[in-house]
Amino acid sequence: QKEVEQDPGPLSVPEGAIVSLNCTYSNSAFQYFMWYRQYSRKGPELLMYTYSSGNKEDGRFTAQVDKSSKYISLFIRDSQPSDSATYLCAMSGMEYGNKLVFGAGTILRVKS
Amino acid sequence: GAVVSQHPSRVICKSGTSVKIECRSLDFQATTMFWYRQFPKKSLMLMATSNEGSKATYEQGVEKDKFLINHASLTLSTLTVTSAHPEDSSFYICSAREASTQQYFGPGTRLTVT
């Protein structure tokens, strides 16, 4: 079993839809949770950074962390074609030092 | 803020030659830098962690004599692929870490070995 599970998709939605991206994990030692967006042939861009359980909102993006269920989500409201990219969840914790453990990435396609 | 650059963005080299890739944190001091490799449609694979002024720590299965990492200053790390072979062709991405856990990634370098 992988430490971080993420459905690779692709996930295809119409423009304006609410997108839900998810990751599950197995190690309760994870404390820091991140979502990155990666366009084709580019480096990942940090979208959201959260610590422990709870919600965090930034514009059209909302990140949720449920440590009891070992489940994190990223919601994108009013999705746009420019949101089409691969979304990677990543997490870390004291046990991992400086290292990030990544999910496989979900390919999102927003159709106009 | 938190901008990381990489140079070159793309490089083609002949088999047996060496290639150096630079990673710079432009507006912050990075105590730690990371080097990743990414295959097409795959997630990032951590190759090594480098701290300024000390030797890099390589992940299991990564040849340290083939992938030389130097972290000479708080804003610069280099990855040298020595005696490159076609199987080394890949997308190499660096990241830099400030004091917190957040890592900021560079735009990546596409290496093609012919």
**Option in A36, A99, A103 nearest B46 (CB):** A99
**CA gap B113, A56 in Å, rounded:** 43
Say what percent of chain A tops pLDDT 70.
100
Cβ–Cβ gap A103/B43 under 8 Å: yes
The pLDDT of residue B41 is: 81
- Which residues lie below 8 Å from residue B63, measured CB to CB, with a gap of 6+? none
Q: Given a cut of 70, is residue A64 above it in pLDDT? A: yes
- Listing DSSP states for B5-74 in one string gives EEE-SEEEE-TT--EEEEEEESSS--SEEEEEEE-TT--EEEEEEEETTS--EEPTT--TTTEEEEEEET
Residue B15 C-alpha, separation from nearest chain A C-alpha, in angstroms: 23
Interface residue B28 vs chain A (CB under 8 A):
no
Structure tokens belonging to residue B84: 């490159």
Q: What is the pLDDT of residues B104-113, one digit of tens each?
A: 999 999 999 9
Closest C-alpha among A2, A5, A3 to residue A106: A5
Cβ–Cβ gap A44/B105 under 8 Å: yes
**CA gap A18, A101 in Å, rounded:** 26
**Option in B97, B102, B106 nearest A49 (CB):** B102
**CA gap B108, A106 in Å, rounded:** 19
Closest C-alpha among A54, A99, A93 to residue A73: A54
The pLDDT of residue B1 is: 63
pLDDT-derived band of residue A7, with 50, 70 and 90 as boundaries? very high
Interface residue B90 vs chain A (CB under 8 A):
no
